[in-house]
Structure 1
Amino acid sequence: MRAEPESAPYARLGGEDAVRKLVNRFYDLMESEAQWQTPLRAIHPQDLSESKEKLFLFLSGWLGGPDLYVQRFGHPRLRARHGAFPVDDRARDQWMACMLQAMREVEMAPELYVHLRDAFQRTADFMRNR
C-alpha cells in the first residue's frame, strides 16, 4: 500500500474518518431535502448502504488516499457505471448542492474547500449524459 502524502486532499481533510463523515452527510442531505428527491434521489436505490460505501471507497482514492475502490472493483469508469441513469443538469446541480453543503459542514481549510469544489464541479459536469 502506498503512503498518502500529507499534502493530498485525503490527508488534509482528515483521512478515513473525515471522508466517511463527508459521504454520510452527503447522503443524509440527499435523503432529507425534498427539493433533491427527483431526479437525484430517484436514481439511487432505496437502501443507500452500498452507494455510501462505494462513494467512500471511490473518494478515498480520488482524494489521494488509499485506492480502495480500484482494489475492490477495478477502474471506476464513472461515466460507464452511471450510463444507465439519467444524469442531466438538474441531477448534477442537486448532487453538487448536497456535496457543497456536506463540505461546508465538515471542517476543512477554505483553500481545500475551493479546490474540492472545483474538482467536484468538473467531475459532476463530466457525468452528465442527458
Structure 2
Amino acid sequence: MNPAPTPVGPPEPFFEQVGGHATFEKLVRRFYDGVRDDDVLRPMYPDDDLEGAVWRLTAFLEQYWGGPTTYSQQRGHPRLRMRHASFHVNPDARDRWLGHMRAAVDELELSPMHDAALWDYLERAAHAMVNTFEENPE
C-alpha cells in the first residue's frame, strides 16, 4: 500500500525562506553602516531620521519579498521613483548604493539561489532610481 501523499501547499515566501525580519533588518542595518560614512549618499538622509530610513527600507523590502504589509499600511503604495525624485541619483550615487548593498548582502551568506534573486532585484531597483546624469547636485 502506498503512503498517503503529503499535502502540498503554496511555497514558503522568500521572506521566510531567508530568515524573515531578522535577515532583512541585518541587511538594512549593514547597508546603512556603509551609508553613514559615504560623502555622496549620507547627505541624502536627514541626521535626525536615519532610523526612520532604516525602518522604511526594512519594511519595504520585507513586504516586497512576501513578509508583512506594514509598509503599505503605514505609507501607502511604494511609488519608489516618485519618492526618490527629489534626490540627486546619478550613476555615481547608484553605484555607491549598490556597493554598500553588495557588502550587506554578502554578510547575509544566503544560498546562491537566494543571493542571486535578491541581488537581481536590488540591481534593477537601483538602476531604475537614476534620475540624472549630472555629476553634482546644484
User: TM-score when scaled to structure 1?
Assistant: 0.88
Higher helix share: 1
Query: What stretches of structure 2 of length at least 5 have no aligned partner?
Result: 1-9, 133-138
- Is the CA contact 1:5–1:11 (under 8 Å) kept in the aligned structure 2? no
Counterpart code for 2:89 = V
The counterpart of 2:24, out of the listed 2, 5, 19, is 19
| Gap runs ≥5 in structure 1 | none
Query: Which of 74, 77, 96 in structure 2 is aligned with 1:75?
Result: 77
Partner of 1:117: 119
- CA drift of 1:5 comes to 4.6
Name the aligned partner's letter for residue 39 of structure 2. Answer: Q
Distance 1:46 1:84 in 2: 17
Counterpart of 2:135?
A: none
**Alpha-carbon deviations, 1:8-49, whole Å to 9, x = none?**
3211220011111111111012214xxx321x1121111311
Q: 1:50-108 CA deviation, whole Å, 9 max, x = no partner?
A: 10011111011111211211011100101111111111101111111111100100131
Q: State the one-letter code of the partner of 2:92.
A: R
For the residues of structure 2 that align with 1:107 and 1:72, how far apart are their CA atoms? 31
Q: TM-score, normalised by structure 2?
A: 0.83
Q: Specify the alignment match of 2:6 in structure 1.
A: none
Runs of 4+ in 1 over 3 A off after TM superposition: none
Percentage of pairs with the same residue: 40
CA distance, structure 1, for counterparts of residue 55 and residue 64 of structure 2:
14
User: How many residues matched?
Assistant: 122
Alpha-carbon distance between aligned partners in 2 of 1:126 and 1:99, rounded to the nearest angstrom: 15
1:31 corresponds to = 36
2:42 alignment partner in structure 1: 41
* Greater Cα radius of gyration, structure 1 or 2: 2
Q: Given that residues 26 and 102 in structure 1 are in contact (C-alpha distance below 8 angstroms), is that contact kept between their aligned partners in structure 2?
A: yes
